[in-house]
Amino acid sequence: MLKSLERAIDYRFVNPALLQTALTHRSHSSPNNERLEFLGDSILNAVIARQLYERFPDVPEGDLSRLRANLVRQESLHQLALELSLGACIRLGEGELKSGGVHRPSILADALEAVFGAIWLDGGFESAGEVINRLYEKLLAGIVPGKPIKDAKTRLQEFLQAKRLPLPKYVLESTAGEAHAQVFTIACEVDCLHVRTEGRGGSRRVAEQIAAEKALERLLNHE
């Protein structure tokens, strides 16, 4: 699993123990990934801040701050973690496993930040920056200065409306876990184009956004 993750992020660890720690939740054992998450959060903010500063020289500070906040929020990290299949690599305690922790957005987002921190310790700031820049390239490329950042459901709706097609349906497929830590599975159905995708998240809203993002990506790839 660790080797597949290294291939996905295109970085090979000199000290694999750092990656193992980055993927160890506090419910499993100690040392866990909380300290690496703290480190990774700082690195992520610095790298994204520089990217925005260099890409958008005419955008004022307040707008840059809002753009950065949107890029480093839990929802964005969670989506990237799903694309990397990070959940399959995380070590969780038995209780967290039973409650669906492997799908919980906060656990996945924190683990990805911890991986960034582990890369910094293993290969330096430049290596961490290269990995972050690669993972965030699609999100950064989609930013249009002066235009509000639209969520996936809005972009999917506008895509379908532009083609005069019916709007998608969102269907609750399942709910797992205890009441305080539920994981929702939502299907996004675009019947007229025979597209159906699923998203999982700690709330219906997050799950719908993930399902919509997958549906939009599939539609754009087949245009």
Catalytic residue list:
41, 113
Residue keyed to tokens 């998450």: 37
DSSP-based helix, strand, coil % in the chain, nearest 5 = 65, 10, 25
Neighbours of 145 (CB within 10 A): 13
| Distance from C-alpha of 15 to C-alpha of 31, rounded to nearest angstrom | 15
Contacts of 123 (CB under 8 A, 6+ apart): 11, 13, 14
Containing 196, the helix (H) or strand (E) segment is strand 195-201
